[in-house]
Amino acid sequence: MHLGPLVRVERAAPVPIGREIRVRVSVCGVCRTDLHLAEGDLRPHLPGAIPGHEIVGIVDRVGDRVERFSLGDRVGIAWLRRTCGTCRWCAAGHENLCLDPRFTGWDADGGYADNAVVDERYAYRIPDVFDDHTAAPLLCAGIIGYRALRRAELPAGGRLGIYGFGASAHLAAQIALADGATVHVMTRSADARQFALDLGAASAGGAHDPPPEPLDSAILFAPAGELVPAALAALDRSGTLAVAGIHLSEIPALDYQRHLFQERQLRSVTANTRTDGEEFLERAARIGIRVETTRYAFEDADKALVDLANDRVRGAAVIDVHPDG
């Protein structure tokens, strides 16, 4: 792994045009996708792109056609920043599968910076119940965890297995628990296992340990393909495994009878729709979701990535850019 990949540079502040808004960044969450880009698992679409796509801040400048937001509004900028709106996937309400999308921190500069710009149609209003630090991880970890939970097709009162227990997992677990699910966590970190139990998980074991009962659904948050067979084997008949990450290491060969027969399903999760985001933020505010964060100074963004890579972050890492507004 190449540590210390970030370089601090001076750039002119972006100027919003049309329906764009410019946000003075208060805080930016640290996502595992940032780590994949820094380590080279994902190739940046924009060379030298500023990472960060869990951005919370205040609108400080607007383009000449802005309608939704005003100067001084608190907003969030997330991973999905543009879709074509015309392809068959967008037309069918599946904009997460758009044929020509753009993503914050991948195709355009993100939030490890003083300012960030986005089309107002892809920005979110932040519920008042969340301060900036707790709101930031909701914008990707939360939204993707929510979509993964939907993709896993957890039945009412069902048994959910979660593999890996970081930023997304601890938020998705709370949504499932609020819906009456029984949650079992499998993860390599002893601290994460205790955290899962503190949040209400029924059990917490090692990453490769079998859960204490068959699962109706499972979500793989860890980017570890070797866990796919274990998660599939833990499913009951007709169970579904959703893989939540944008990157996954190689999956070992599967045994059809043991891993897929009896109508078990293996599904991926690709980005999110804006509807996912709006639904999740409303649900999170309604249930009073607990967001565990580890804070880093702006100068320590590299350290945040290294700590994330080594499972030293409890909950979600958040970088203070202008934490006092």
Instruction: Say what the pTM is.
Output: 0.93
pLDDT at 2 over 50: no
Q: Two tokens at 184? A: 């079992």
CATH code, 237: 3.40.50.720
Residues 153, 204, single domain; the answer is yes
Residues 44, 63, single domain; the answer is yes
Residues 246, 310, single domain; the answer is no
Q: What is the reported pLDDT for 1?
A: 39
Residue at 279 is within a domain:
no
- The residue with tokens 């979509």 is 147
Residues 69, 164, single domain; the answer is no
Confidence class for position 3, pLDDT limits 50, 70, 90: very low
Residue at 239 is within a domain:
yes
Residue at 8 is within a domain:
no
Residues 132, 83, single domain; the answer is yes
Residue at 325 is within a domain:
no
Residues 206, 228, single domain; the answer is yes
Q: What is the reported pLDDT for 325?
A: 62
CB 27 within 8 A of CB 294: no
Residues 170, 116, single domain; the answer is no
Mean pLDDT, all residues of the chain: 95
Residues 106, 193, single domain; the answer is no
d(CA 279, CA 162): 21
d(CA 241, CA 263): 11
CATH code, 58: 3.90.180.10
Give me the count of residues in the chain: 325
Residue at 14 is within a domain:
no
User: Quick one: CA torsion of 224, 172, 113, 2, rounded to 10 degrees?
Assistant: -10
- The residue with tokens 């149609």 is 121
CA dihedral (275, 276, 281, 285) positive or negative: positive
Domain around 250? 143-268
Domain count, the chain: 2
User: Quick one: CA torsion of 116, 277, 234, 190, rounded to 10 degrees?
Assistant: 50
Q: What is the reported pLDDT for 149?
A: 98
Residues 106, 160, single domain; the answer is no
Q: Read off the pLDDT of residues 143-183 as tens digits, 9 standing for 90 and up.
A: 999 999 999 999 999 999 999 999 999 999 999 999 999 99
Residue at 282 is within a domain:
no
Residues 263, 306, single domain; the answer is no
- Helix (H) / strand (E) element for 28: namely strand 20-30
Residue at 12 is within a domain:
no
Could you tell me which residues are beta bridge partners of residue 184? 161, 203
Residues 130, 164, single domain; the answer is no
The mean pLDDT of 314-322, rounded to a whole number, is: 95
d(CA 293, CA 313): 8
The mean pLDDT of 35-52, rounded to a whole number, is: 89
Residues 132, 165, single domain; the answer is no
Q: What is the reported pLDDT for 48?
A: 87
The mean pLDDT of 271-291, rounded to a whole number, is: 97
Residue at 184 is within a domain:
yes
Q: Read off the pLDDT of residues 221-231 as tens digits, 9 standing for 90 and up.
A: 999 999 999 99
